[in-house]
Structure 1
Amino acid sequence: MIYLYDLDKTLIKEDSAKLWMDFLCEQGLVGSEFVKAQEKYEDDYAKGILDMDEYQRHFLSVVKGKSVDELKPLLAKFVELKIRPVVYKGALDLIRRNGSRAIVISATNDFIVGAICGFLGIEEFVATNSQIKNGVYSGFMEGVPAFRDGKVERIKEILSGGELKKSVFYSDSINDLPLLKAAKTGILVNPDRLLLKLNDEFKFEIIKFDELAFS
């Protein structure tokens, strides 16, 4: 069996992109107006109306011109300060219990998802790719974002149709409905309001996490 996991508000309590912006603001690397703009995009995401291209231009402007090596210590500090305190204990128990092949698939950008997966001990992940040229972030995304139908398209890059049909996918978000339907089994973790409303039709199993692993 192959187990697929959304990241934000599924394995961790918060949105990692928001936490990243909060962290950068605390480090004096962005201003409060940038964080407020981020919050507007997060609201659009929750409503299922996010313009991903526009959002990526905003989000990646922060790392534009920075090298991969330059970002590594910043990401390590971010994971320790912002991610470690919001990891669900139930999520870690679930991953351990499921065993087998585990893949995180998230609309968040690859440098953030990769750092978090390293902390969680998950080797495979699919995320929205950030373009790198000559070891430096260009400020643009690359390829199809791992978002809505794009999650299905991207997971098919590493799983055959037969493997996907044997997979289990865990998510909280209405934006992940395409992959919840494409997997053999979709399971909702602390589902958002819109997804919970639609579940009257789809009748996915629902599980709840609340206890934090490192509180």
Structure 2
Amino acid sequence: MSRDEKVTELARLAAVAGEASAEAAYVIGHAEPTEPVPADLTAAAFFDVDNTMMMGASIFHFARGLAARKFFTNSDLARFALQQVRFRVAGKESQDGIRTSREQALSFVAGHTVRELNELGEEIYDELMADKIWPGTRALAQMHLDAGQRVWLVTATPVELATIIARRLGLTGALGTVAEHVNGVYTGRLVGEMLHGPAKAHAVRALAAREGLDLRRCTAYSDSANDVPMLSVVGTAVAVNPDSGLREIARRRGWEIRDFRTGRKAAKIGVPSVLGAGAVAGAVAVGLAYRKREHAS
């Protein structure tokens, strides 16, 4: 496959992933008990999870919990941690690297049931995630809820785990990576691509169409320069705990910056209120390179 063909295929998979994520979020959201109709029907907020809403990578915390339950070895976990570090330093992945991550992504759940992973997700959230929520970001989400707006998480983390996090935080729902399952059992394959980069933009647009949102009135929050395409599709983009790349872009474009890592006050640049717009949230591109634990023969 040529380089152009690879780029075209990745773009196709990103679109498939975005549509699948939006469909999953819509179905899950409408399957829950009916919530009060929001006062503001066309504005919403979208929050990245890793390093934006939560300290560290949610999928890595999940992996730690699964490793403790013998889903895979500690050496597998160490390799994944190294991949996370490399990704965060490099800021992007090669086309081959993304393909490899896609092929390995979520393979560790193959053969397990959706119900089992949901139950484990609830336990692991309590054990390893609940105390890692950034209070400042949580307060921003609550601000939107108090204004009568819906609030979604947008992340490369599996949609089941993302939905658990959203529910625990009292949010509307979540857009996340969709893992294929048949009769409630995971196949180990993804639907399209990881919800990463352009896929998140597709997901937010698709969900906005389903929910009747005006993207010009929505707000998005992210920490990563990888999410600029998604942050750019909404009316207001806010950089939260930004990496150096996003901080520079935010300054250049006049986006609001909020940094809760040092307690500094947000640098408000040309945006009077985050309630005025923006929808999408960038999620740091986690390379879900878990491997299913090999059992001794």
Distance 1:171 1:20 in 2: 20
1:150 aligned partner: 199
User: Contact 1:145 / 1:151 at 8 angstroms: preserved in 2?
Assistant: no
Equivalent residue runs for 1:43-192 within 5 Å: 43-46=85-88, 47-49=91-93, 51-99=97-145, 100-160=149-209, 163-192=214-243
Change (3 A) 1:131 1:168: same
Secondary structure at the aligned position of 1:5 is classed as strand
1:22 aligned partner: 64
1:33 aligned partner: 75
Distance 2:54 2:258 in 1: 14
For this pair of structures, how many residues does the alignment match? 211
Task: State the Cα deviation string for residues 166-192 of structure 1 (Å, max 9, x = none).
Answer: 211000011111011111111000001
Query: Following TM superposition, by how much is the alpha carbon of 1:198 offset from its aligned partner in structure 2, in angstroms?
Result: 3.1
1:194 aligned partner: 245
User: Contact 2:44 / 2:144 at 8 angstroms: preserved in 1?
Assistant: no
User: Contact 1:41 / 1:55 at 8 angstroms: preserved in 2?
Assistant: no
Secondary structure at the aligned position of 2:109 is classed as coil
Task: State the Cα deviation string for residues 61-90 of structure 1 (Å, max 9, x = none).
Answer: 211100112222211110001110101111
**Structure 1: stretches of 5+ with no match in the other structure:** none
User: Contact 2:52 / 2:240 at 8 angstroms: preserved in 1?
Assistant: yes
Change (3 A) 1:52 1:127: farther
TM norm structure 2: 0.66
Q: Which has the higher contact order (CA 8 A, sep 6+)?
A: 2
Distance 2:194 2:44 in 1: 21
User: Contact 1:105 / 1:126 at 8 angstroms: preserved in 2?
Assistant: yes
Distance 1:70 1:126 in 2: 20
Stretch moving more, 42-51 or 81-90: 42-51
Distance 1:210 1:5 in 2: 17
Residue 7, structure 1, aligned to residue 7, structure 2: no
User: Contact 2:110 / 2:188 at 8 angstroms: preserved in 1?
Assistant: yes
Distance 1:54 1:12 in 2: 26
Query: Following TM superposition, by how much is the alpha carbon of 1:150 offset from its aligned partner in structure 2, in angstroms?
Result: 1.1
When the two chains are superposed, the root-mean-square deviation of aligned CA atoms in Å is 2.0
Distance 2:250 2:260 in 1: 18
TM norm structure 1: 0.89
Q: Which amino acid letter does the alignment assign opposite residue 108 of structure 2?
A: V
Q: Which amino acid letter does the alignment assign opposite residue 5 of structure 1?
A: F
User: Contact 2:92 / 2:226 at 8 angstroms: preserved in 1?
Assistant: yes
Secondary structure at the aligned position of 2:178 is classed as strand
Distance 1:108 1:74 in 2: 15
Secondary structure at the aligned position of 1:157 is classed as helix
Stretch moving more, 43-52 or 54-63: 43-52
